[in-house]
Structure 1
């Protein structure tokens, strides 16, 4: 029996399964000057052992606040449960005090949060945070706890797990931090696992392996999973039952087959229609840009970071984050970088923004990024960066309207009145309203914060926008609107994009040209039709095969788990990685010789 058939068989047997969690008429309200205002109204569902319930809906629909209520993490006294019950077995969680909930949290109910950087303690090592969570609930020695933490990191396929235990959160990429959060949740083998956008920051191959790990956990321990996600492909692949939420209410629920095959509500149909699907982008030919002048040009760019050890703190190793990358981005073109976390995509973005030192050449608008101070200021006006983690990119002490207007103030553009008018226009163009302008970042959901970051990047009307996972935190309907906005800006103003993403379906629908990266080097590069329609390198094919398909009936061919240790970009001083020359296989389609590059296939 296939994994999909096993999952569907389990779904049919759901009524006979032991109920682990039951939510009855849950109402969550926030205290306002006008009185209590409901955020979630009359929500009810049951979750059986070994089942997966997916909760889908737009940002602000009440998905995450429901999970916080189950965990007992609502911020008192402003937000609280004002009706209904949450039963874990026979225990009513809404009636427990904080001390009793501490015994349940992490042990019987665990949660993977949406934003890993704000969920991890920045002043504690990864190892200490993992062992602290384990020791808080299980009686074992420090050596045993460290061994359990190491096993958990290996289970989520993180490179150099022993070294990661000694590192701090800021030393890891966004995808690696999310894997640490998943490892922390899996280490205690809970009865219920709440996963709030657990694969948002992960590339498709690791996402696939993490989803397989969650299935293994269900099979071995009967763990029940509540999956909160905007990725309808993940919903189709993982869920037995689906709840669709809008404005704090359940608008539709049913089996995953029912919801996908015959959605009853217009809102559900609109959500499914907005999902980017592989194959749609290839049908739309990319506009030829070969005659356009380059907006940005990279020539043999290298970025390395020093690692020190020993009593004298000498440099003994280098992290070869980017190892000889060259490409150009033409006017009005969307150039996409794809690859696994840690391959060097975000490092290239930071080098182009002048945020990390590099060797080689980077030009934006004809001016060198490492040139004079005047050149650097000019390139920063011409190229704007949208960061991966929106909460870390926004100053929590400033109103979001002031944050969006800040680039205009720095570059002394316009009057206070004209800046305010531009902020209003930008907010409306990214799907927010004028009422949002005077709020603070913590008052928004993760998806809304990312839209604010995009609005800020658009403020200076740049020639190049470097979008580092810019739509990864958005639900599908807002994602579709933002992608349409990016396309319209490209058509209207000729703005170019460096689009960095792990979502292959999104890349296929928006990119003109695509470069696939592995361990700091490009292994395949070509037009959208070449890379997605006729991929040559086995690693590219592996990335495409790992993309979840938003159809519960689709049976994907199994993706082999790599038996070898994940390769590392860390090398001893003097031991530089071998350069992998790209060869033209026809019409500008470039690929390395995979029979000699040592890249896992």
Structure 2
């Protein structure tokens, strides 16, 4: 990767011996300790590490946005050019924020005002920092949206955040951050929640804008593929301390610390998944059969227009999963993956046939519904949102056993202890509440709850996407182990193609509510036949600076192709015909 334009010049941002504490003055605990680094014009410095390493706290300290009084800057200096930021009063900092130093957050919906149009928010930002007329501010706002490749920028000025996709909202955040041409742009996990194709577009956009404006970028991420693709240099943090720093290429060639080596070793890579043979239907009984699944939602209308057109979210999807098999369902946001999952577990109305263990779930009575809930469980993306915060972990895992009246009280307690041990949670875990666990531990707790009734099928909807790579690796290993022991079938829903390649037996690719391609794991990743599948795989950032993806756009029109029937191109490999 070529060095930045400003290499060798004075740093535009210099952080020296930064220490940040929480707990106030009575019981201070350092969450960032003695951190130092420099950032030069035109350079991208990646701040990498797992959750809790102090990355985001560092960014908030630089912006002067530490949550007070619990969190405070205990010592150190932060210099923006010749300006010492730690010595500035809040009023002076407000003038610098957004003007000379800007920030992009991970989730744009929490950063954008939902009741104001994106145009209004952009122009207000410009008017707050520039002595220009309202008309000139509007022109600058349209220019900023054009720069981040929002189509029909002038028209989209009137749009509200909820009317835009996740990728478009992230582009609006980038437009707001870059509208005033800041010296430094801090991007805190800007692509973690995005699909690989949208992520690729956002990374390309950041690179182009940096080249055009010479902006220095501090990129905070736990995705080592993004580090390899974007970084000139990398700083690795752990427990609030810098454990390693170096040029990106040198870092990926040889890590100087065991922690950095372990961090890279845990990264899932396409092509490195364990050899897996697809489970043939004639070898093992089918755990789940789905035929012609359709899900429609009523359209949103208005007072004057009445009902809107219905939304056809899932359009005739069919697949099956054998006992002990993992089928992954992949595709971009809005393709129908999660809607399919919700329909299977009874959280969305559907038409078509869903056959679980030989029993059709359609039109089932109360007893059939209760049995279905025993045999089909779900693990959600955010365990914190799906676990009752008022119940202890032990009560949460025991609750399904209580509802179904399984065993005596003492047997249920024994089952809970066994489940906690099985998913690697400590003996004291049953007495703790969800907020007392880390993200990875909460996901293990959600898995233990899903296993309580020993289901035949588990639907895992983006169940590891929010986890750090090392925690993700441990959860995936746990899922494989449990599958081999209990013969569970998994429907694994994800947009992370590297994770899918590492856990799947078979893969189905969805677009616009339809399946475009389905094949064994090896068939799909070694020989993807549909153009859309090829672009999905090509868009994945590679954790190797010497092997970078090509910058290619997705096939622009796929909906008509998706309507085509699937054709078997080789045994077990089905593809929608491409016109």
Contact persistence 1:336–1:511 (CA under 8 A): yes
Consecutive unaligned residues of structure 2, counting only runs of 5 or more, are none
2:472 alignment partner in structure 1: 479
State whether structure 2 residue 43 is matched by structure 1 residue 59.
Answer: no
The CA distance in 2 between the partners of 1:140 and 1:392, in whole Å, is 45
- CA deviations on 1:281-310 (whole Å, 9 max, x unpaired) are 274444545432222222112223333445
The CA distance in 2 between the partners of 1:186 and 1:416, in whole Å, is 60
RMSD across aligned positions (CA): 3.7
Superposition deviation, residue 103 in structure 1: 3.1
| Secondary structure of the corresponding residue to residue 252 of structure 1 | strand
Contact persistence 2:41–2:215 (CA under 8 A): yes
Note closer, same or farther for the CA distance 1:293–1:232 as it changes in structure 2 (3 Å cut). same
Contact persistence 2:148–2:175 (CA under 8 A): yes
Note closer, same or farther for the CA distance 1:165–1:487 as it changes in structure 2 (3 Å cut). farther
Note closer, same or farther for the CA distance 1:186–1:334 as it changes in structure 2 (3 Å cut). farther
| Secondary structure of the corresponding residue to residue 237 of structure 1 | helix
Note closer, same or farther for the CA distance 1:122–1:479 as it changes in structure 2 (3 Å cut). same
The CA distance in 2 between the partners of 1:164 and 1:353, in whole Å, is 39
Which TM-score applies when normalising by structure 1?
Answer: 0.84
2:141 alignment partner in structure 1: 148
1:68 alignment partner in structure 2: 60
Superposition deviation, residue 351 in structure 1: 1.6
State whether structure 2 residue 352 is matched by structure 1 residue 368.
Answer: no
Contact persistence 2:353–2:360 (CA under 8 A): no
- Tell me the number of residue pairs that the alignment of Structure 1 and Structure 2 aligns: 577
Which TM-score applies when normalising by structure 2?
Answer: 0.87
Note closer, same or farther for the CA distance 1:519–1:449 as it changes in structure 2 (3 Å cut). same
Alignment of 1:147-186 (within 5 A): 148=141, 152=145, 155=148, 166=159, 169=162, 181-182=173-174, 184-186=176-178
1:358 alignment partner in structure 2: 350
State whether structure 2 residue 13 is matched by structure 1 residue 9.
Answer: no
| Secondary structure of the corresponding residue to residue 16 of structure 1 | coil
Q: 2:21 aligns with which of 12, 29, 33?
A: 29
Superposition deviation, residue 100 in structure 1: 3.4
Q: 1:45 aligns with which of 28, 37, 41?
A: 37
Superposition deviation, residue 88 in structure 1: 1.9
Q: 2:563 aligns with which of 559, 570, 579?
A: 579
1:264 alignment partner in structure 2: 256
The CA distance in 2 between the partners of 1:39 and 1:484, in whole Å, is 30
- CA deviations on 1:323-366 (whole Å, 9 max, x unpaired) are 11111122111111111222111211122222222222223342
| Secondary structure of the corresponding residue to residue 234 of structure 1 | helix
The CA distance in 1 between the partners of 2:400 and 2:135, in whole Å, is 49
1:589 alignment partner in structure 2: 573
1:275 alignment partner in structure 2: 267
- CA deviations on 1:412-440 (whole Å, 9 max, x unpaired) are 56788877776676666656656777776
Superposition deviation, residue 320 in structure 1: 2.6
State whether structure 2 residue 483 is matched by structure 1 residue 490.
Answer: yes
| Secondary structure of the corresponding residue to residue 12 of structure 2 | strand
Contact persistence 1:58–1:478 (CA under 8 A): no
Superposition deviation, residue 388 in structure 1: 3.2
Contact persistence 1:369–1:375 (CA under 8 A): no
Contact persistence 1:203–1:502 (CA under 8 A): yes
Note closer, same or farther for the CA distance 1:553–1:292 as it changes in structure 2 (3 Å cut). same
- Which entry has the higher C-alpha Rg, 1 or 2? 2
Note closer, same or farther for the CA distance 1:472–1:288 as it changes in structure 2 (3 Å cut). same
The CA distance in 2 between the partners of 1:430 and 1:158, in whole Å, is 47
State whether structure 2 residue 515 is matched by structure 1 residue 531.
Answer: no
Alignment of 1:304-453 (within 5 A): 304-309=296-301, 311-365=303-357, 366-368=359-361, 371-390=364-383, 392-394=385-387, 407-408=400-401, 410-411=403-404, 433=426, 450=443, 452-453=445-446
